[in-house]
Structure 1
Amino acid sequence: MDMGSEFHLNQEILFEILSRATLETLDTFKVVSKESKELVEESWFIRNYAEKTKNFIGYIVEKLEPHRCSYTFVSINPSLGVPGISMECFCGMTILASSEQGILCCRKYEDRSHHYYVCKPSTRQCVELPTPRGRAIFPNWFGLTVLKSNPLQYKIIRLSRQSGKTGFICQIFDSKFWTWRQSENIIMEGCSVFSFQPSVCIGGILYLLTDRKTVWAFDSATETHSEFLGPITTTEDNRSCCCEAIVEYNGKLGFTSVYKWEELRLWVLEDYRWEIKKVVEIDKKNRRLIGCSLADMALMIGYGHQVSGSYSHQTIFPFRSDWEPVDLEDGCMLGGLEEMFTS
């Protein structure tokens, strides 16, 4: 057997192993090398992985209805025959943030107050969180980042406007200690406000798009923040571009924009510089991106219509999850208590 055949065989064996691995193993494999990361991020691999594991990979689409929101799960490959996620537990709830581990942060208004929950829809698990202190001025912006999977630890960041002021109150919920605490208030440059789209969390950093098409970043580990320019900086581009969105693309921050309703452009932040990665034509008659499937997650979220099937404003949350139950509450707090007693 020559080296070429041996390499091809090894690639086939690796593909078979990975296509049956857990989501946690897949995430671990991403950091082994650049080549391994590129492999598991390929849309053809994602489709095959979803087919063989029957894990949920796709989108949760919010549909706005009179006086309420409803949610639908859209698979990256509807022909897979994967059982849909029951959205019954979301009755009366609003999804605030999602994570790559299949965990959502939600809010529900009942008994004249807002209640907060963390949920795993695939296993129908839902746990109520403590209520944040203080009266927040709506709207709020949220981010959810999973720090560890075993034992599970996650942080939820809530940003809310200050009464009569231009800054934002920053509150953080840490599942390890099961409590909210207030961090340093956020003062935005140029009195910016955040856009009404979900946050993006990558490597423990929360990203939000502002109304000035800049990107705000919050490091959940150091609890520091910064703001930097997006790729659309010239006046001409500002006039021609619309529907900007930030997305996760191959583990990096992406930025999409529709240009003259003729094409979708995708930039990726590489070494602190925006680089154009893809330009995809829009088939306006059929409301589709030419040559792209639902497995092209960043492009689908940037365009939106192909996932939701509608031009009306709808929020789209990327979603992937396995079928394994997790300890959303007790295991998290146990880890915190152990750390307190051993430190």
Structure 2
Amino acid sequence: MRRGWMNIKQFAPSPESNTLDLGFLPYNAQILATSEQGIMVFKIQDPMNCRRYSYHVCKPTTKQVLALPRPKGNHTDQKFAIVVMGLKPLHYKIIRFSECRALRRWRKFHMAYRCEIFDSMTWKWRSLKHVALGDCVFLTNPQPVTKSGAIYMLLTNNNILKFDADSEIWEVFSSPIPYDESRTPTELVKYGGKLGLACKPSNANGYWDIWVSKKDKLWEKEADVAVESNSERERLKALYDPHTSVMVDCETLLFYRLKQQDNNMISKIVLNDIPYQIFSFRSDFEPSDLK
């Protein structure tokens, strides 16, 4: 089992895992999405046309790579996610959100994202209805969180966009963190298998609060959990498990115990450069039929 984090093409192992060699990937490969079942999606830029890319699905632990059909149009990628629908046989869907455009409605501008979905069973891309958000609301930079066949994405107004890969229906619902112009640091996470939201209040003195989504989109604050950061520069990226947090400080990845102790750091990994995207990854070593 390999479990860790990828920064474009560098693998950072978790405390109980070994490293994974990604050197077999093309030098200009850009990772777009990963799944907890060991499947990854990446793209390669066409050297003759900077707006043209080829897309690939891959299982890094077995070095299996398969080219995907190219989506229609040269739209700018905004967000990718992969959802594994079944394992025997392997069935997955890839969701792509691309460049947005403004839709004028009642003197307000609503941002709409082009949405396409790739199904491994049909081996084709399909275009869905545009995802139209509120007035001047956008998708944020962090990667989507996948849970129970759905992907969740944080919006700039702190609401959450949910896309169900099975029904292919999307909806927006509220988070427990009200929007403020100061942009309180907020991250979508998974906590104990549930959708969670971590925020760092301005008076928190280095601590992040954890909220967990319960039934019917009701949120509860985890009273006994506070994620500690030892530096103002450290940014929470994920919860490795209910007891361990993953922080980023410039080019350093840090694992901390959630419960405060005399020495709560578990491990520290120095990356090749400052990451602007990090993908969680877990996999076995069994070959998979990607098509």
State the TM-score, normalized to the length of structure 2: 0.79
What corresponds to 2:278 in structure 1?
316
Equivalent position SS for 1:315:
coil
What corresponds to 2:184 in structure 1?
241
Quick one: distance in 2 between partners of 1:286 and 1:185?
37
Residues 28-60 of structure 1: CA deviation (Å, up to 9, x unaligned): xxxxxxxxxxxxxxxxxxxxxxxxxxx101211
1:249 Cα offset (Å): 2.1
Quick one: distance in 2 between partners of 1:208 and 1:195?
8
1:73 Cα offset (Å): 1.4
Size of the aligned set, in residue pairs, is 257
What corresponds to 1:131 in structure 2?
70
Quick one: distance in 2 between partners of 1:60 and 1:189?
32
Quick one: distance in 2 between partners of 1:83 and 1:263?
30
- Note if contact 1:214-1:227 (Cα within 8 Å) is conserved in structure 2: yes
Distance of aligned partners of 1:304 and 1:178 in 2 relative to their CA distance in 1, 3 Å threshold: same
Measured on the aligned residues, the alpha-carbon RMSD in Å equals: 2.8
Distance of aligned partners of 1:72 and 1:180 in 2 relative to their CA distance in 1, 3 Å threshold: same
- Answer with 1 or 2: which has the greater Rg: 1
Distance of aligned partners of 1:262 and 1:324 in 2 relative to their CA distance in 1, 3 Å threshold: same
Equivalent position SS for 2:229:
strand
1:222 Cα offset (Å): 1.2
What corresponds to 2:56 in structure 1?
117
1:201 Cα offset (Å): 1.3
- Note if contact 1:98-1:104 (Cα within 8 Å) is conserved in structure 2: yes
- Note if contact 2:206-2:232 (Cα within 8 Å) is conserved in structure 1: no
What corresponds to 1:228 in structure 2?
173
- 2:232 maps to 1:267: no
What corresponds to 1:326 in structure 2?
288
Identify which of 21, 34, 59 aligns with 1:98: 34
Quick one: distance in 2 between partners of 1:239 and 1:298?
29
- The 5 A counterparts of 1:193-212 are 193-212=138-157
Distance of aligned partners of 1:189 and 1:295 in 2 relative to their CA distance in 1, 3 Å threshold: closer
- Note if contact 2:3-2:14 (Cα within 8 Å) is conserved in structure 1: yes
Identify which of 214, 227, 237 aligns with 1:280: 227
- Note if contact 2:101-2:113 (Cα within 8 Å) is conserved in structure 1: no
Quick one: distance in 1 between partners of 2:200 and 2:6?
22
Equivalent position SS for 1:283:
coil
1:96 Cα offset (Å): 1.0
- Structure 1: gaps spanning 5 or more residues: 1-54, 63-70, 330-343
1:95 Cα offset (Å): 1.1
Quick one: distance in 2 between partners of 1:200 and 1:234?
20
- 2:58 maps to 1:150: no
Quick one: distance in 1 between partners of 2:243 and 2:160?
17
- The 5 A counterparts of 1:164-183 are 165=103, 166-183=111-128
Quick one: distance in 2 between partners of 1:195 and 1:309?
26
- 2:2 maps to 1:60: no
- Note if contact 2:147-2:195 (Cα within 8 Å) is conserved in structure 1: yes
Which letter maps to 1:173? F
Quick one: distance in 2 between partners of 1:299 and 1:230?
23
Which letter maps to 1:156? I
> Could you tell me the percent identity over the aligned residues?
30
Equivalent position SS for 1:300:
strand
- Structure 2: gaps spanning 5 or more residues: 104-110, 255-268
Distance of aligned partners of 1:185 and 1:295 in 2 relative to their CA distance in 1, 3 Å threshold: closer
What corresponds to 1:251 in structure 2?
193
Which letter maps to 1:99? S
1:229 Cα offset (Å): 1.7
What corresponds to 2:261 in structure 1?
none
